[in-house]
Amino acid sequence: MDYMYGPGRNHLFVPGPVNIPEPVIRAMNRNNEDYRSPAIPALTKTLLEDVKKIFKTTSGTPFLIPTTGTGAWESALTNTLSPRDRIVSFLMGQFSLLWIDQQQRLNFNVDVIESEWGQGANLDALASKLAEDRGHTIKAICIVHNETATGVTNNLATVRRILDDLRHPALLLVDGVSSICALDFRMDEWGIDVALTGSQKALSLPTGIGLVCASPKALEASKSAKSVRVFFDWNDYLRFYKMGTYWPYTPSIQLLYGLRAALDLIFEEGLDNVIARHSRLGKATRLAVEAWGLKNCTQKEEWFSDTVTAVVIPANIDSSEIVRRAWNRYNLSLGLGLNKVAGKVFRIGHLGNLNELQLLGCLSGVEMILKDVGYPVKLGSGVAAASAYLQNSIPMIASRI
Amino acid sequence: MDYMYGPGRNHLFVPGPVNIPEPVIRAMNRNNEDYRSPAIPALTKTLLEDVKKIFKTTSGTPFLIPTTGTGAWESALTNTLSPRDRIVSFLMGQFSLLWIDQQQRLNFNVDVIESEWGQGANLDALASKLAEDRGHTIKAICIVHNETATGVTNNLATVRRILDDLRHPALLLVDGVSSICALDFRMDEWGIDVALTGSQKALSLPTGIGLVCASPKALEASKSAKSVRVFFDWNDYLRFYKMGTYWPYTPSIQLLYGLRAALDLIFEEGLDNVIARHSRLGKATRLAVEAWGLKNCTQKEEWFSDTVTAVVIPANIDSSEIVRRAWNRYNLSLGLGLNKVAGKVFRIGHLGNLNELQLLGCLSGVEMILKDVGYPVKLGSGVAAASAYLQNSIPMIASRI
Amino acid sequence: MDYMYGPGRNHLFVPGPVNIPEPVIRAMNRNNEDYRSPAIPALTKTLLEDVKKIFKTTSGTPFLIPTTGTGAWESALTNTLSPRDRIVSFLMGQFSLLWIDQQQRLNFNVDVIESEWGQGANLDALASKLAEDRGHTIKAICIVHNETATGVTNNLATVRRILDDLRHPALLLVDGVSSICALDFRMDEWGIDVALTGSQKALSLPTGIGLVCASPKALEASKSAKSVRVFFDWNDYLRFYKMGTYWPYTPSIQLLYGLRAALDLIFEEGLDNVIARHSRLGKATRLAVEAWGLKNCTQKEEWFSDTVTAVVIPANIDSSEIVRRAWNRYNLSLGLGLNKVAGKVFRIGHLGNLNELQLLGCLSGVEMILKDVGYPVKLGSGVAAASAYLQNSIPMIASRI
Amino acid sequence: MDYMYGPGRNHLFVPGPVNIPEPVIRAMNRNNEDYRSPAIPALTKTLLEDVKKIFKTTSGTPFLIPTTGTGAWESALTNTLSPRDRIVSFLMGQFSLLWIDQQQRLNFNVDVIESEWGQGANLDALASKLAEDRGHTIKAICIVHNETATGVTNNLATVRRILDDLRHPALLLVDGVSSICALDFRMDEWGIDVALTGSQKALSLPTGIGLVCASPKALEASKSAKSVRVFFDWNDYLRFYKMGTYWPYTPSIQLLYGLRAALDLIFEEGLDNVIARHSRLGKATRLAVEAWGLKNCTQKEEWFSDTVTAVVIPANIDSSEIVRRAWNRYNLSLGLGLNKVAGKVFRIGHLGNLNELQLLGCLSGVEMILKDVGYPVKLGSGVAAASAYLQNSIPMIASRI
């Protein structure tokens, strides 16, 4: 009935797709509906309004596109830019690399600012480049908020400050795939022009909605952007928004109801509490890694990610073997090292609808696996370090006090 | 808990999204999984193999793209054609119109062959055009197998014969959105180069998978096609197929398991039996329409569609009022007339996982609504005509004999 | 994946278990929970309060027993009576027969008042018997409100009037299995001492909760009732009610949440509207039966049941063959004739979460089956008669106006 | 939408109801069906056959009664015994106490052999009592295999040996509620006459089926047993078994399909592997308790239970506070101490569909809670002890090698 069933729960600690809360699974457990009936627009209206809160924007316009993160990227780029436009993009890991690849294949003229994998975006280089660009030939800055391959979080407030200091008009396009709804993210305050994420990340839904939010400036840019686009064209959405029917083509009824439930849960917990929970889980994970005597792939504390931790393991061990054993023996799903860090790191995703005891179960599994593969870990050491911190910081569950 | 809940089952008779069978709803009722574990490729492998049976192809290569039918269209076009390529496209209703609009926005040079809405594709015009095209400037023929707006089914075997007779090398791209898995469809036999459908149509799943199948000739064409594409690029899929990991970006785990269940059900019933069932449902609907004294929007029997019937109603009645009452009073979802036939027709979708008694319930509802809006129908007349036919033609349920 | 799967929806028209609404299926789609956590008592408290509304009682005490209707019967009897107690019980069909069988096996001294199957309880005989019973040796009157085998509804108000007129103190125990939540039922107004139903009937849940409601007089009687009981003992519940933990043994978590959703739906529609809907469905069914030229097993209009119709078919046809064909060919589930009426009647259940078009689909199926088995029905005749009535009486769906 | 929702998964470690595997939740996610159609008997037949494997019996007759464990007890007793029959019953905790209470209320003449809570059944006392009973006045021995309140497992093989050595014909009735399908249990080999469990225990289903299995000797006894019974009467089942319709009253369709899925999962894993997994989880838990410096309520190793561990905590701490904090702060559900051990022990249930990392997550939670309530635990110590053992003993997952 399942492929490769194992006893008990699967411990899902890849950085996406993530665990779906039961109330969301329930909400999606339904037959199709006519998306042209009055019910679906009524539902959609609430979603568009509430999704803005997740992006922390009041002036942005959200699009719920039936696609993945890769499609959301394409939507952000093709709606705001024209072929051969000059853009600046940061390379620091596999996902920023893939986005840059897409930018190039879409025929933009990409200035890549590369960092060592494990380091954050080189914002000094950005400042120089922008300072030199007196003619404002740079049309957009593309930055991944949280590089999922290395667990690096970039400082978007600084990016905005650099742009503001230089009064540079470039659009700021942000991949918030593994950040929005988990890390501190402020679309309006940080002057982000296009922000995007995927439903299967911190929103804790199945894959299938690319959530893209456009600032008024981005919408304005879309009027003159010459990139060819149809499926991803915001304009089709805007026409249907005006008509009040919302959908230029068929959405997933199940995901709309699922998104409603996901947002309800987030608001019930409180978005700030959700972010604080991710902060706790991130810190606990890093404390465990430290206790195991292992290195975090992320080189400086300022870039530490609260949604994913890439753990570097000694050269004599193949990190893929760790991921394989996690799956084969412990029903634990960990993330592989990708590309440059393949075999060198494994990744623990700690985002979405997750609590502390789930994480500690995962960490205890990692300890056993490390021992399995010959790394001399002291069993219990990571859990001890993490729980020493957590025991002091977990709040009471509001609905249960 | 629901938006605009009504007692009892919703009677879903729009031509998509359609009713999802319970076993498929069950199969999708699950948490996310790591799509990089060995389980998902193992599952995907079976899906790709079995989807080919639905298209009736052995030589084709299927792609399960996380998108809608509109995205599947885009995938078919951009992977096989280059900007300014000359293509021939048939206009006969709202969906062929939308596809042509997409073709033009993607910068193809489209020769539109228009038919009156309610008529099929003008294949004589195609023959002439191709005959004149001695230099083979026409790169592709784009045709909608079943125009969902008017209930018109085109004869693809004839299209192929015309191409063959003239030895014209144009690619044959077919929108099978409201036909595949419901109407007789033979990708290999009819020499179709790209065929596509959406999961929410006759496959009876939620929206979210654009199923696209490419012939070897289409794959060959994709190597030189210059249309810009990233998200929809087949090449990314082909690279991952080769690696055995299958997915260039995150698929919906739920839809993969749902597709598995949907295919299992189709094979259990037998694809030919599924098609015969649609034939029965289509004929029964047309007999009812006739008994009511109403006209089928489809002008000739050769074009009658077994998946959707567009019913023309007298000029003094607004067909939107019929659809509105169906929803407001009878918990019945019917399709609106679109564009040129707005207000003039309403549509009964009879595709997907549906049986005869469900259809008769719908028809009895339509009778009452017709009376509601002042059309002098004899209550029971349509049901009588339909059931006189059905009582003679419904087979025993194989698993229950 | 299923046993004997057929295409499309199963049309479930047995008089229980009945169709479960999608929101209720969703609500039950969950993992287990600790029933001793504060959440389950909090939920239970709302259920006990709201279940009373369904019974139309303010003074009654409800018990949600993990059992079936048969268990609910046993609970009603053993908690209020002592072995050898004299009771009066009405026999008019298979379910009243089974209850009487239980009463006898539980060692009560049962005065059976028998009616022909198809007639209601003989209340004149009751009046005589009670009038003669000056010494009040009769401890209880047991009556099935709606005999599911024959589709006979008894007049409980009259029963109460007879008891009151004679100032007879006998307890009034009522089987409301196929009536409560579908027919007019007034526990307090009609002075019912124990009323009971099962979750799988008009409440439209799975089997698993026997809902029993006891008047203050019944609770008082339970203090001296000497029948041996443990699992069914109300006293264990009352002790846990007092403690606020509610459950003497483990309830089904899923059914509790399901019952919450079921009650929410009923209150959203309005209990009186639910009852009116059943009245429409009952009348429509009877009009169809009449149009087919068939007889209702129920002999007089005063006993017509709005939840189940037993249709008598000519002696040359075996009604089991009708039920068999309904299942084998039409994916329609009808009720068999039972015991004395086996082979002679088939039953259409029209209770629970059901709407008019569902019923008309069923009726159109019955017409085809009648033809299949050689009964000379005019196809469409029953649907015509039913829909002529329904088209005038179906209200708009409140949430959709 | 839920009562007292908390973020992430609830960690369910009460000794029942236990975690339901996703495939079982899926299997139960369905509408009702007619239980008199041919599909349900066909399904039931497989269930009855396969349930016998779980009890390790070939000669036994299983009954799937719509009730709880309490009802299953009643079924075992009333079908085999007559009022005032002398029986021997062991008291060693809350659940054996409740069963004895039931035995007394059902009017049996109960010789109670009491042990200190935390000790197993006093089998020497049994031997003496039986030896003295030359007239065979003792009709049955009632024993709880695994006392859930204290985590004590009794040796059934020894009970059988005592009976055999003395050639005593008393029936052996065994409560296997928290043992069957988790602990080594051999109905035929150990000569058990009635064995029973509840669906919500190691079978990992919702509450709702009391599974009772009767030996030929028990069935024979049922013919002369005079205890009053109707709902629980085996004879009604046996009549319907003979007819091939199986059900004297309405079963839960959902639970039947759920049981099918549960059995499939158990056989896929292998019943012996399931039992070995419980053995690992039990041992790991006890190692953690030892590492924390706490006492197991179970006084000797021979009685250690692999399904539940009752942990004794120092007199200055109220164990209820531990359970409360687990729920309020960690979304962890632990079992309270009951009756004599209320406030003194808390319980960790480790039965059903559970794996090692789930348990380690729970243990890490318990460590933090112990610290919360002032017990000087070394964080990580229990996890370290448990995982040192587990890392050496967890097998590879068969389907994933």
* Chain A residues touching B255 at Cβ < 8 A: 206, 208
Residue D2's pLDDT is: 81
Query: What does the pLDDT average to over A255-270?
Result: 98
* A401 pLDDT tier (thresholds 50, 70, 90): confident
Cα torsion B217, B221, B222, B227: sign: negative
Residue A1's pLDDT is: 62
- Asked whether residue C360 carries a pLDDT value surpassing 70, the answer given is yes
SS (H, E, C) B353-390: CCCHHHHHHHHHHHHHHHHHCCCCCCCCHHHHHHHHHH
Question: D112: part of which helix (H) or strand (E)?
Answer: strand D109-114
CATH number of D11-18+271-394: 3.90.1150.10
CATH 3.90.1150.10 in chain D, residue ranges = 11-18+271-394
Query: What does the pLDDT average to over D294-316?
Result: 98
Residue C3's pLDDT is: 86
Q: Backbone phi, then psi, for C34, in 5-degree steps? A: -65, 115
In sequence order, the β-bridge partners of residue A29 are none
Classify the phi-psi angles of D380: left when phi > 0, otherwise alpha if psi is within -120 to 50, otherwise beta.
left
**B17–A250 CB contact, under 8 Å:** yes
* A342 pLDDT tier (thresholds 50, 70, 90): very high
Residue B1's pLDDT is: 61
**D31–B22 CB contact, under 8 Å:** yes
DSSP conformation letters of C150-211 = TTEE--HHHHHHHHHHTT---EEEEE-TTTBTTB---TTTTT-SEEEEETTTTT---S--EE
Q: Backbone phi, then psi, for C171, in 5-degree steps? A: -70, 150
- Asked whether residue D234 carries a pLDDT value surpassing 80, the answer given is yes
**B29–D31 CB contact, under 8 Å:** no
D156-165 vs D123-132: helix crossing angle, rounded to 10: 20
The candidate with the shortest Cα–Cα distance to C230, out of D144, D143, D75, D106, is D106
**A333–B255 CB contact, under 8 Å:** no
Question: D79: part of which helix (H) or strand (E)?
Answer: helix D69-80
Residue with tokens 């910068």: B107
* Rounded distance between C-alpha atoms, residue B215 and residue B172, angstroms: 10
Q: How far is C105 from chain B (nearest CA, A)?
A: 38
Average pLDDT of chain D is: 98
* Rounded distance between C-alpha atoms, residue B194 and residue C376, angstroms: 52
Nearest chain A residue (CA) to D396: A329
Q: Is the ipTM of this complex over 0.95?
A: yes
CATH number of C22-267: 3.40.640.10
CATH 3.40.640.10 in chain D, residue ranges = 22-267
Query: What does the pLDDT average to over D292-304?
Result: 98
Tell me the pairing of strands C138-144 and C146-147: unpaired
Residue C249's pLDDT is: 96
Domain at A11-18+271-395, CATH from 3.60.130.10, 3.40.50.300, 3.90.1150.10, 3.40.1080.10? 3.90.1150.10
- Asked whether residue D197 carries a pLDDT value surpassing 80, the answer given is yes
* C2 pLDDT tier (thresholds 50, 70, 90): confident
Residue D115, token pair as written in the block: 């042990």
- Asked whether residue D50 carries a pLDDT value surpassing 90, the answer given is yes
**C25–A27 CB contact, under 8 Å:** no
Q: How many CB atoms lie within 10 A of CB B128?
A: 13
Residue A2's pLDDT is: 79
Q: How many CB atoms lie within 10 A of CB B113?
A: 21
Q: How far is A384 from chain D (nearest CA, A)?
A: 4
Per the CB < 8 A criterion, the answer to whether B21 and B259 are in contact is: no
* Tens digit of each residue's pLDDT (9 = 90 or more) over A365-394: 999 999 999 999 999 999 999 999 999 999
Query: What does the pLDDT average to over A141-167?
Result: 98
Residue with tokens 């480790």: D350
- How many CA atoms are closer than 13 Å to the CA of C379, on its beta-carbon side? 22
* Strand order across the B295-296 sheet: B295-296, B308-312, B345-349
CATH topology of domain C11-18+270-400: Aspartate Aminotransferase, domain 1 (3.90.1150)
* Chain C residues touching A400 at Cβ < 8 A: 38
Q: How far is C257 from chain A (nearest CA, A)?
A: 12
Residue B3's pLDDT is: 86
In one-letter notation, the amino acid at residue D160 is: R
- Asked whether residue C1 carries a pLDDT value surpassing 80, the answer given is no
Q: Which member of A25, A36, A251 has the closest CB to residue B336?
A: A36
* Tens digit of each residue's pLDDT (9 = 90 or more) over C161-211: 999 999 999 999 999 999 999 999 999 999 999 999 999 999 999 999 999
* All residues at 6 or more sequence positions from A117 whose CB lies less than 8 Å from its CB, including other chains: A92, A93, A149, A150, A297, A340, A341
- Give 10-residue mean pLDDT values along chain B (401 residues): 89 98 98 97 98 98 98 98 98 98 98 98 98 98 98 98 98 98 98 98 98 98 98 98 97 98 97 98 98 98 98 98 98 98 98 98 98 98 98 97 87
| Cα distances (angstroms) measured from residue B399 to each of B332, C323, D274 | 30, 16, 34
Best mutation target among C68, C99, C233 (most D Cβ atoms within 10 Å) is: C68
**How big is chain A, counted in residues?**
401
* A3 pLDDT tier (thresholds 50, 70, 90): confident
* Chain A residues touching D328 at Cβ < 8 A: 396-397, 400-401
Chain B: partners with 3+ C-beta pairs within 8 Å:
A, C, D
**C380–B387 CB contact, under 8 Å:** yes
* Chain B residues touching A74 at Cβ < 8 A: 230-231
* All residues at 6 or more sequence positions from B242 whose CB lies less than 8 Å from its CB, including other chains: none
* Tens digit of each residue's pLDDT (9 = 90 or more) over D214-226: 999 999 999 999 9
The candidate with the shortest Cα–Cα distance to A95, out of A305, A243, A299, is A305
Nearest chain B residue (CA) to C381: B380
Chain B residues with CB under 8 Å of a chain D CB are 1, 22, 25-27, 29-31, 38, 400
In sequence order, the β-bridge partners of residue D64 are D211
DSSP conformation letters of B199-262 = TTSTT---S--EEEEE-HHHHHHHHH-----STT-HHHHHHHHHHT---SS---HHHHHHHHHH
The candidate with the shortest Cα–Cα distance to B34, out of A254, A8, A347, is A347
- Asked whether residue D1 carries a pLDDT value surpassing 80, the answer given is no
